[in-house]
Amino acid sequence: MALPIMAKATAVWLVDNTTLSFKQIADFCGLHELEVNGIADGEVAIGIKGFDPIVNKQLTQGEIDKAEASPAHKLQLWHNPAADGEQKRRGPRYTPLSKRQDRPASILWLVKFHPELTDAQISKLVGTTKPTILALRERTHWNIANIQPIDPVALGLCKQIELDAAVAKAAAKQAKDGEVMSNEDRLKLVSTEQSLHMDTEPKIPSSIGGLENFTLADADIEEDKEDLLVDADSLFNLPKGGGEDEEEEA
């Protein structure tokens, strides 16, 4: 159910100017019945000026009279037929001033790790312009030498669910168009939730590749062990000096 604008201020006006029940006002304004009771007692919405729903085209006097006559009647928000078909104009995503300097880094990250995304998708995700995206794609941006790619989700410029949705949409479009993707590109198109559940494939570093099949014969192992064994007593039986030999002969 659609709610009136300035719902709490509207509830204040209805409490002060009508005999509607607390439940009727609560249902119409999207509040709890006890909250409306608190407004009537002066414990809630202190200092809020009442907002006239009749003057502001949210209710008609006839609708209020009908509800006052029948406590079971639910107030209906006034419908303006002239507003049918109107759509809210959607502009570019608003980016706070404190985060606008981070947009080039996030754009570079998207261009590098998700080249399948279109300029329109990137512009919608981080709230930028197509010339800026083009400059970063072609590495002609004036500050390209100092820009490091950073995940826009980590920067707070977009949500992970929005990024996953854009990537999935790009993957569906490529599949529909019949474009061939490499294994690396397919891995990039996997969402975060899917990648967390993927089995990791153990890989052996190339520098030690083949050592998993290398074995030694038992005899060779025993021989190597014998060569490494050292008699501890031999370390203390040092040869005697010449003076001791002469005393024994005498």
Residue 3 has pLDDT above 50, yes or no: yes
Query: Residue 95: which of 85, 81, 109, 105 has the closest Cα?
Result: 105
User: How far apart, in whole angstroms, are the C-alpha atoms of residue 81 and residue 88?
Assistant: 16
Average pLDDT over residues 205-214: 48
Scan for tokens 């190597």, then name that residue: 224
* Both structure tokens of 97: 């001033």
CA 239 to each of CA 144, 231, 244, 245, 250: distance values in angstroms, whole numbers, following the listed order: 75, 16, 11, 11, 19
| CB-CB contact of 125 with 119 (8 Å) | no
| 23 burial via Cβ count (<10 Å: 0-12, 13-18, 19+) | middle
Q: Which residues contact 161 (CB under 8 A, 6 or more apart)?
A: none
User: How far apart, in whole angstroms, are the C-alpha atoms of residue 137 and residue 124?
Assistant: 17
pLDDT of amino acid 229:
55
Residue 191 has pLDDT above 70, yes or no: no
Residue 1 has pLDDT above 70, yes or no: no
pLDDT of amino acid 43:
86
Range of lowest pLDDT (35-39, 113-117, 183-187, 232-236): 183-187
Classified as helix, coil or strand, 80 is: coil
Residue 250 has pLDDT above 90, yes or no: no
User: How far apart, in whole angstroms, are the C-alpha atoms of residue 186 and residue 170?
Assistant: 11
* Both structure tokens of 43: 């414990």
Residue 245 has pLDDT above 80, yes or no: no
pTM, two decimals, is 0.41
